[in-house]
Structure 1
Amino acid sequence: MLPPRTVTTPPRRRLRRRAALGALSLAAVCSLLPAASPAAGAQGTPDGGHCAGRALVRVPGAAHQQADCLDELTTAGTVASGHTDPADFAGLTPLDLATPSGVPGIQIDGYFPDSSTTDTNHGWNHDAQFVIRLPDHWNGGLVVSGTPGNREQYANDRAISDWVLSRGYAFAATDKGNTGLTFYRDGRRPGDAIAEWNTRLTQLTRAARAVVTQRYHRPPARTIATGLSNGGYLVRWQLENHPELYDGGVDWEGTLWRSDGPGLLTFLPPALRDYPVYAADGPGAAEALEAMHKAGYPVGSEFLWPYHHQVYWDLTQRIYREEVDPGFDGATEAGAPFCAPGTPGCDADYDYATRPPSVHRAVDRIALTGRIGKPLVTLQGTLDVLLPISQDSDVYARMVHGAGRGALLRYYRIADGTHTDSLVDVFPGKLRPMVPCHRSAFTALERWLSGKGRPPADHTVERPAEADPATLLTDCRLG
């Protein structure tokens, strides 16, 4: 990491570290690609210089905001100054991730009115928190994002914010309105907590566009939505439901919700039932292996299964099932961890297809349709074993084409990519990082939106046979 720069305002109190990071909190970013030219219409530093107009910038609809003038908006400075929370992005990025620097500007932290209190950042204990970063040297564009998993608003700082800020974009992120492993407690009826994620990103996008206009005296020439996992789901939903707010989006292994499946609640229960039998290597192990493959877990991904069984599968199934189907286990909240099949209310026995219509209606409230209204680039790793690709992005791509919107989609299957890039450090010979592929997808979308050429057709991006880890960390050629 490059040394942090000094901020021009006194450093704020360090943000409190959260004890737990949410499930579906995934993959990361890697080292820098060469800087690209600013977006069309870039004007450089506005009149007034460093942090001009900071006292005049107001976030529409915010109940509270704090604007600080920083010499460094990337994590090269914000970690030391207390303008990010490293706990939010812990475990998401490769160890050798390079950090860009040299991005002065304004950071605005705040929150919109909300009744839940799971986000503890700044000691506010208030949800619907956001961060907006306005670089002095602006390229005319705005990038907005919701967080992966159930993390808070700084979770994208290493994966997305650092890189887009270094390219001159303004950046905004939201905590999605609820955080943590008990996010499902928010709302009055099943599905409310996830539905709020969509509402909060729409709210932030509108507010951030207004803030950009205040700061730079003109609206953004381009607004791009991007995000990881749950953040990728938000990109899909926004382009389906509010395409007027965006010019395009990059969906990095977004979560798929469909009222008739497939989805988390259809492929996670087989893993909870069959993986322990396979791992025991006793009677029925061969049949359990076949059942895992049939459920969508790719052949060749077996080396990733122990970690996901311990960390992700059980927890993810229980908390997301509690969100849309709290009645399955009666008064118990989020089931029994690692229960054996046959245990009353055990999520290993969950069968989404047979659940009452009310459960399917709850999922339908947050479901995707494929009817995107702006260009979208989707990418997912072929060795993703949290959201198996055959049950997720493969299906979503077919949905987009089935809805007659295929001309707006480019879909890249990244060979040997997995859901969480930090695992590349554990299995460097078996996995490739996804972050350089996300950056390639982002720059391909930029060219597409600028009329400089359409991205390559949908295909699998193979892992170069002779590429060393350092090369894979910085390069992912889509064409």
Structure 2
Amino acid sequence: MPSPRTAVAPPRGRRPRWRVTLGALSLAAACATVPAPATAAPAVTGDWTMGGHCAARDPLPRVPGAAFQRADCLDELTTAGTVASGHTDPADYAGLTPKDLPTPGGVPGIQIDGYFPDTSTTDTNHGWNHDSQFVVRLPDRWNGGLVVAGTPGNREQYANDRAISDWVLSRGYAYAATDKGNTGLAFYRDGRRPGDAIAEWNTRVTQLARAARSFVGQRYHRPPARTIATGLSNGGYLVRWQLENHPELFDGGVDWEGTLWRSDGPGLLTFLPPALRDYPVYEAGGAGAEQAQEAMHAAGYPAGSEFLWPYHHKVYWDLTQRIYREELDPDYDGATEAGTPYCASGTPGCDADYDYATRPDAVHRAVDRIALTGRIGKPLITIQGTLDVLLPISQDSDVYARMVRAAGRGGLLRYYRIEDGTHTDSLVDAFPDKLRPMVPCHHSAFMALERWLAGEGRPPADRTVPRPADADQATLLTSCPLEQSVSLP
């Protein structure tokens, strides 16, 4: 992760400039298709033609627009083989899935690693120190489909390997993922204006989808029969945005607890500050604790989720508020970079006292640049856990489902609230009697989308999927039938 840097106090209204020289991507570049460099075409390096199942194949095409790519012929494209072969990075996906999640195998094929032109350098994978890195995996036994994903959080391109890539590869899909163009806790340093770094995420997924569709078509000598966008958390936001803004590139998408951005809220910057103010009072007990608990519930953190609050206060809430507020409203705390960790309410510039509604119009315009509208153009299935306390469901997917319906696109959406699911599946290991994993629910949603796109029947109506009272952990880790449900009003 990038280490903090000392900021130079900027003129009011301008983004801080850092003493350390850091790459930036202009707004113009972030909002347009990034062209290939004017220099010679990128080299295709690696050992993809070295014997076995990759021998005597046609020359491997270049990924359109890539500045560099490396191709390798692998006996195993899933993490059953890529961990040992060095074609993934377990640190990228650490903490996202349950420890006992089965790992599929038996998927030989070709992996292409590379990067598109970019000027920022936060992604250190392969020692490249170059952002806009991507990975494309081409199974020998292809089912005709392509899955495109952006990463959750501020992680790098292998972050979905356990949660998504392994499973879709085992089903025969080609798979492509991007690091979104900037990574790490100081991702907000990329770009010239507030919102540039997040805006680049959307551009990079669009760029990869176009390139991967072309590349896969060249490799298999026919275009993908279907292209599906999927992702979790920030990756789910990217699915929503792509289906709203570039539905021509996709046949549909599965949004796994996507982040909601709206210029008038709700969003991270509206429900995280109350948690930073009220949780310490609740945790301390005594006078005011009950009132603080009620305030937490009012902010969207559901009753019954209290057992998750200590972990999220320690790991997520404070850090998430500060770095995303810095990206969209850097002037709030003056020259300080990303606020003061765990500051007490009443401290000048403290994020616990942040009030998005009263911030200047420029802040709301920055959020509007990355905002969602609900105007999806292709089928979308959204899933979110009812015990998500990083993105409370009442402030996120409940709202987005209403937005889609209000936009007149309700016929393109199915929305499933997963009872006792939370934001990070690794927490199921810590609370097996209180939580259920979301991974199998993503599988069920994905297969429901497959049937929908194939004309084999529409998925069940929007509903809450209950946690079976008598199901053991092994069953919950492999099963999540969407039909067993309570319909939503």
TM-score (norm 1): 0.90
Gaps of 5+ in 1: 1-17, 21-47
Q: Show the 5 A alignment for 1:281-430.
A: 281-430=285-434
The answer to whether structure 1 residue 91 and structure 2 residue 98 are counterparts is no
In structure 2, the residue matched to 1:44 is none
Measured against aligned partners, the alpha-carbon deviations of 1:102-132 in whole angstroms (never above 9, x if no partner) come to 1000100000000000000000000000000
Shift of 1:53: 3.9
Tell me the distance in 1 between the aligned counterparts of 2:475 and 2:346: 48
Post-superposition CA distance 1:371-426 (Å, at most 9, x none): 00000000000000000000000000000000000000000000000000000000
Counterpart of 2:217 in structure 1 is 213
Q: Which amino acid in 1 is paired with 2:98?
A: P
- How many residues matched? 435
AA of the residue aligned to 1:176: K
Q: Is the 8 A contact 1:376 1:410 kept in 2?
A: yes
Residue 54 of structure 1, CA deviation: 6.7
2:180 is aligned with what amino acid? Answer: K
Equivalence map 1:115-264=2 (5 Å)? 115-264=119-268
**Structure-1 separation of matches of 2:271 and 2:157:** 29
CA 1:471–1:299: 2 relative to 1, 3 Å: same
Residue 104 of structure 2 corresponds to residue 100 of structure 1:
yes
What does 1:270-289 correspond to in 2, within 5 Å?
270-289=274-293
Quote the Cα distance in structure 2 between the aligned partners of 1:192 and 1:464. 44
CA distance in 2, matches of 1:414, 1:51: 46
Quote the Cα distance in structure 1 between the aligned partners of 2:283 and 2:55.
57
* Contact 2:2-2:122 at 8 Å conserved across structures: no
51-60 or 220-229, which deviates more: 51-60
For residues 55 and 417 of structure 1, the distance between their equivalents in structure 2, rounded to whole angstroms, comes to 46
Counterparts of 2:327 and 2:56 in 1: how far apart (Å)? 44
Q: Deviations over 1:323-365 (max 9, x none)?
A: 0000000000000000000111100000000000000000000
1:81-103 alpha-carbon deviations (Å, 9 max, x no partner): 00000000011111111111110
Aligned-partner residue type, residue 312 of structure 1: Y
Which residue number corresponds to residue 61 of structure 1?
65
CA distance in structure 1 between the partners assigned to 2:291 and 2:434 by the alignment: 25
User: Structure 1 residues 315 and 52 mapped into 2: Cα distance closer, same or farther (>3 Å)?
Assistant: farther
Matched, 1:78 2:87: no
User: Contact 2:2/2:185 (CA < 8 Å) preserved in 1?
Assistant: no
Shift of 1:52: 5.8
Partner of 2:175: helix, strand, or coil? strand
Equivalent-residue separation in structure 2 for 1:286 and 1:297 (angstroms): 14
Q: Given residue 443 of structure 1, which amino acid in structure 2 is its aligned partner?
A: M
Checking the alignment, whether the CA contact within 8 Å between 2:2 and 2:186 is kept in structure 1 is: no
5+ residue gaps, structure 2: 4-51, 484-489
Shift of the 344–312 alpha-carbon distance from structure 1 to 2, 3 Å rule, reads same
Between the aligned residues of both structures, percent identity stands at 85
Q: Is the 8 A contact 1:111 1:127 kept in 2?
A: yes
Could you tell me which residue of structure 2 aligns to residue 455 of structure 1? 459
- Structure 1 counterpart of 2:479, one-letter code: D
Q: Kindly provide the amino acid, as one letter, of the partner of residue 436 in structure 2.
A: R
User: Contact conserved, 1:51 with 1:136, CA < 8 A, in 2?
Assistant: no
- Tell me, what secondary structure is at the counterpart of 2:105? coil
SS of the residue 1:126 aligns to = coil
Contact 1:51 1:105 survives alignment (8 Å): no
Q: Any conservation in 2 of the 1:53–1:215 contact (CA below 8 Å)?
A: no
Matched residue type, 1:172: A
Work out the CA distance in 2 between the residues paired with 1:53 and 1:396.
Answer: 46
The letter for the 1-side match of 2:390 is L
Q: Is the 8 A contact 1:380 1:413 kept in 2?
A: yes
Q: Equivalents in 1 of 2:360, 2:224: separation in Å?
A: 46
Q: Which moved more, 1:49-58 or 1:460-469?
A: 49-58
Task: Give the 3-state SS of the residue equivalent to 1:202 in structure 2.
Answer: helix
Structure 1 consecutive aligned stretches of length 4 or more whose deviation exceeds 6 Å: none
Offset at 1:55?
Answer: 4.0
Q: Distance in 2 between matches of 1:202 and 1:188?
A: 21
> Match of 2:54, SS?
coil
8 Å CA contact 1:417–1:432 kept in 2: the answer is yes
Q: Which residue of 2 aligns with 1:33?
A: none
Hey, what does 1:14 align to over in structure 2?
Answer: none
> Partners in 1 of 2:194 and 2:97 — Cα distance?
33
Q: Deviations over 1:430-464 (max 9, x none)?
A: 00000000000000000000000000000000000
CA RMSD of aligned residues (A): 1.1
Matched-pair contact (CA < 8 Å) for 1:270–1:348: yes
* Aligned residues of 1:298 and 1:383 also touching (Cα < 8 A): yes
1:114 aligns with 2:102: no
Judge conservation of contact 1:74–1:103 (CA < 8 Å) in 2.
yes
Against the structure 1 CA distance between its residues 472 and 19, is the aligned structure 2 distance closer, same or farther, given a 3 Å change threshold?
Answer: farther
Corresponding position: 1:446 with 2:455: no
